[in-house]
A = this chain, B = another copy of it.
Amino acid sequence: MPRIAYFGPQGTFTEQAARAFATNGSDELVPVATVPEALAAVRAEKADAACVPLESSVQGSVPDTMDGLAVDEPLVAVGEQVIPIRFTVLTRPGMARHEIRTVASHPHALGQVSRWLAENLPSAAPVAATSTAAAAVDVTEGRYDAAVTAPVAAEHYPLDVLATDLADVRDAVTRFLLLRRPGPVRPPTGADRTSLIVEPDSFRTGSLAELLTELAECGINLSRIESRPKRGRLGEYRFYLDFDGHIAERRVGDALAALYRRCREVRFLGSYPNADASMAVVPPNNTDQAYADADAWLDGVRSGRSA
């Protein structure tokens, strides 16, 4: 029975993502208090996998996840989920809308439904909570009248659903990764993403341009890049890269090997199916067959069979 540790508490969007990752009913979902604890549980073999948020289209990258993947024992992603961030408002049972005087949630969630609150609960005062689920606990225990939560919270707390599917920003999403200890990489699906952290050998001018040129020459299309300063070392950076492709492909293998030659550190964060199942477009001169043909020609020349 695989155990998936997720950044809790119960009733958050991360629990929704963990449920989406659970492949069968026997998976055990274990909420833990922080992202570092979720990663540590997998490293210590107390859990088989960790489900953590990586980036939000509204809030940006999640630093705890970014930093936690860069240090300590490596972990690799085996899957991603992109969850739409649409909120539910829960109230104490039987409470009428006009009776609602306080509405609690994490400040980020309050910010993402502030327009809806102003229009629909204009006399309710917003109150901060440490998480959307903690707000539901506050309402259950009678401290506040309503909570802005993830949809899944409605299953955990004996509260009424006042409204669902709320979002001032209609297309807000959060991307989650399922992380495991390194092991055999699952074969490519054709719609894969690969994630890396790289740290160039030196930080002279142009070193990042050279790394990206290596990737471009292998026909690799970046989907995300972010620099992040190394803690306590001003002027030294790690680069987080996501791109279309799978490490089992020749073009990706060649690119990673080229980065390895040029970098102080390359950390492989996994090749896994992308959430939208969009097939990679491989340039004709970067297909596995193109590399095999070139190898055969080179062998021939080296051995004197051709020229």
Contacts and interface: CB of A to CB of B under 8 A. Distances in A.
B130 A129 contact: no
Contact of A205 (B170, B208, B220): B220
Contacts of A232: 170-171
A168 to B, nearest CB: 12
A167 to B, nearest CB: 13
Contacts of A276: 234
Given A209-B212, A213-B209, A232-B171, A110 B128 contact: no
Contacts of A63: 56, 58-60
A187 interface: no
Interface in A189-219: 203-206, 208-210, 212-213, 215-217, 219
A229 B227 CA distance: 16
Contacts of A229: 57
A110 B126 contact: no
A216 B56 CA distance: 31
Contacts of A45: none
Nearest to A135: B128
Interface string A111-145: 00000000000000010111100100000000000
A253 interface: no
A57 B217 CA distance: 33
B130 A107 contact: yes
A238 to B, nearest CB: 12
A170 B227 CA distance: 21
Contacts of A305: none
A231 B171 contact: yes
B212 A205 contact: no
B209 A205 contact: no
A73 interface: no
A227 B224 contact: yes
Interface in A60-113: 60-63, 66, 106-107, 110
Contacts of A130: 107, 110, 126, 128
A226 interface: yes
Contacts of A59: 63
A57 B131 CA distance: 22
Given A60-B66, A206-B212, A213-B213, 5 more contacts: A169-B231, A171-B231, A205-B220, A206-B217, A226-B226
**Nearest 10 CB-CB pairings of A with B:** A206-B216, A209-B212, A128-B128, A209-B216, A209-B213, A60-B63, A128-B130, A205-B221, A225-B227, A226-B226
